[in-house]
């Protein structure tokens, strides 16, 4: 199981640690984090229980070592070269073609990209996608943030916000005057996923815009059910942040073009029409992070080589079965999301019995090189949050549950 010990992002610095072994010895110049004494109980997880890779964060998330190696291999001819020239543009072209194939997009859908990640895309949508009024399903930190951005915009009507408590999701409701229905495929803060479906009875000219930042590439979706499916690369696409990508239907493109031609003032850096025009030329309006583009294109190719979205989603299904199956059988762990079909297959949230402090479990895991299993802070629960993105080995989820059991046992 431990064929990839060197991939451990944090090497245990204890003198007694045998796991550093030959393979994992820190190379010169690599700073090894030193554990502050007293920061976590001194519990050493046996080597045989550890996952092959210790990264379980929900974003930024595990980047496959092969993707980093591929980047290193082209670094001298690719990094530090112009994004207006053929080299970088061919990567963007490969990325756009790959996404079209991965999501089985109809020919008339377009792939638009720009800088700034999903949070910046929300501002772009406030200016260039929402005509007057949007409806938002608000059921966690991320879905509520987009609604707040809209509420603050003086040129739009107050948004229609439908709330649901953390751990559940609301459903959209067709309402007159709503021209964008804003859904979230996977609420990363709570581990709730929902199906992407057009609201029954919605006006034909209204758009469905889906924040798929943590769902895209790990959950199945039918392009007929959305007009704009947008995401950033640091989650299921196992790349780095700072970029947004939007899969746009002809209706979304028409909306972008119409608003752009109106007299609404739009800041140039978040102008969707400018982004659309540049994307059609396999470019971005301003300088993109070339490493991010490369890692994203490489991950899309990896998914396609494996068999496409079904392959990637299948890996997430497998991981989710491993995680929730363990929690349901456990005496001290329980899936946070009550309804099994709303339990996310890409980000799992697991409540622990009050007798087992989740914060301490996370600290011990971190000291052993298993990182970023902490729950979303503002949720304030005794909870672990575990990413199950396609890059994460389903077997590593099993290994993680064994590590958690070991730590919980050692703490009791």
Ligand X SMILES: *Cc1c(COP(=O)(O)O)cnc(C)c1O
Site residues, ligand X (CB under 6 A): 59, 117-119, 142, 184, 188, 211, 213-214, 232, 235, 241
Burial of 216 (0-12, 13-18, 19+ CB in 10 A): buried
**Phi/psi of residue 384, each to 5°?**
-110, 145
Residue nearest to ligand X (CB): 117
Report helix, strand or coil for 38. coil
Task: Considering the complex, state which of residue 223 and residue 241 has its C-beta at the smaller distance from ligand X.
Answer: 241
Alpha carbon distance 338, 125 (integer Å):
33
Task: Considering the complex, state which of residue 141 and residue 357 has its C-beta at the smaller distance from ligand X.
Answer: 141
Alpha carbon distance 65, 7 (integer Å):
8
Report helix, strand or coil for 207. strand
Task: Considering the complex, state which of residue 214 and residue 283 has its C-beta at the smaller distance from ligand X.
Answer: 214
Q: Give the shortest CB-269-to-ligand X separation in angstroms.
A: 15
Residue owning tokens 């899936």: 335
Q: Give the shortest CB-212-to-ligand X separation in angstroms.
A: 8
Task: Considering the complex, state which of residue 126 and residue 403 has its C-beta at the smaller distance from ligand X.
Answer: 126
Task: Considering the complex, state which of residue 170 and residue 241 has its C-beta at the smaller distance from ligand X.
Answer: 241
> How far from 10 is each of 25, 72, 123, 297, 401, CA to CA, in Å?
11, 21, 36, 27, 19
Task: Considering the complex, state which of residue 50 and residue 388 has its C-beta at the smaller distance from ligand X.
Answer: 388
DSSP-derived secondary structure letter, 287:
-
Alpha carbon distance 283, 288 (integer Å):
9
Q: Which residues of 136-149 are buried (b: 16+ CB within 10 A; e: fewer)?
A: bbbbbbbbbbbbeb
Q: What element of type H or E holds 108?
A: none
Task: Considering the complex, state which of residue 121 and residue 326 has its C-beta at the smaller distance from ligand X.
Answer: 121
Q: Give the shortest CB-258-to-ligand X separation in angstroms.
A: 26
Q: Give the shortest CB-77-to-ligand X separation in angstroms.
A: 28
In 185-324, at which residue ranges do the beta strands (DSSP E only) sit? Answer: 186-187, 192-193, 207-211, 228-231, 243-248
Task: Considering the complex, state which of residue 118 and residue 274 has its C-beta at the smaller distance from ligand X.
Answer: 118
- Measured from the Cβ of residue 242, the count of other Cβ atoms closer than 10 Å reads 17
Q: Give the shortest CB-183-to-ligand X separation in angstroms.
A: 11
Q: Give the shortest CB-28-to-ligand X separation in angstroms.
A: 34
- Work out whether the CA dihedral 388, 397, 191, 65 comes out positive or negative: negative
Q: Give the shortest CB-5-to-ligand X separation in angstroms.
A: 29
In 249-340, at which residue ranges do the beta strands (DSSP E only) sit? Answer: 333-335
Q: Give the shortest CB-232-to-ligand X separation in angstroms.
A: 3
Task: Considering the complex, state which of residue 392 and residue 404 has its C-beta at the smaller distance from ligand X.
Answer: 392
> How far from 127 is each of 144, 204, 232, 354, CA to CA, in Å?
18, 21, 19, 46
Q: Give the shortest CB-93-to-ligand X separation in angstroms.
A: 23
């Amino acid at each position: 199981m431990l064929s990839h010990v060197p991939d451990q992002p944090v090497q245990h610095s204890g003198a007694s640690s045998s796991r550093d072994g030959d393979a994992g010895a820190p190379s010169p110049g690599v700073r090894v984090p030193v554990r502050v004494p007293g920061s976590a109980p001194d519990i050493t997880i046996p080597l045989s229980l550890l996952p092959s890779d210790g990264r379980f964060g929900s974003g930024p998330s595990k980047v496959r070592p092969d993707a980093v190696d591929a980047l290193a291999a082209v670094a001298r001819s690719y990094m530090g070269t112009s994004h207006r020239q053929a080299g970088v543009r061919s990567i963007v072209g490969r990325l756009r073609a790959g996404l079209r194939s991965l999501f089985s997009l109809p020919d008339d859908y377009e792939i638009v990209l720009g800088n700034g990640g999903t949070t910046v895309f929300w501002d772009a949508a406030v200016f260039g996608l929402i005509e007057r009024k949007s409806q938002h399903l608000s059921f966690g930190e991320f879905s509520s943030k987009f609604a707040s951005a809209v509420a603050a915009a003086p040129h739009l009507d107050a948004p229609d916000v439908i709330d649901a408590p953390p751990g559940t999701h609301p459903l959209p409701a067709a309402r007159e005057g709503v021209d964008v229905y804003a859904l979230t495929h996977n609420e990363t803060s709570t581990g709730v996923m929902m199906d992407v479906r057009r609201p029954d009875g919605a006006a034909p000219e209204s758009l469905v815009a889906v924040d798929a930042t943590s769902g895209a590439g790990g959950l199945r979706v039918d392009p007929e059910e959305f007009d704009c499916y947008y995401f950033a690369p640091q989650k299921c696409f196992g790349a780095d942040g700072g970029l947004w990508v939007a899969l746009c239907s002809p209706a979304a493109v028409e909306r972008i073009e119409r608003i752009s031609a109106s007299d609404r003032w739009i800041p140039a850096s978040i102008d969707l029409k400018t982004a659309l025009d540049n994307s059609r030329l396999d470019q971005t309006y301003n300088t993109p992070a070339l490493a991010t583009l490369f890692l994203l294109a490489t991950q899309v190719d990896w998914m396609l080589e494996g068999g496409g979205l079904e392959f990637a989603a299948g890996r997430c299904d497998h991981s989710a079965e491993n995680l929730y199956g363990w929690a349901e059988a456990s005496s001290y762990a329980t899936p946070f999301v009550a309804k099994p079909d709303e339990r996310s297959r890409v980000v799992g949230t697991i409540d622990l019995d009050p007798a087992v402090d989740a914060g301490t479990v996370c600290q011990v895991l971190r000291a052993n090189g298993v990182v970023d299993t902490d729950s979303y802070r503002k949720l304030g629960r005794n909870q672990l949050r575990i990413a199950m993105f396609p890059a994460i080995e389903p077997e590593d989820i099993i290994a993680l549950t064994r590590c958690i059991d070991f730590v919980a046992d050692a703490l009791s």
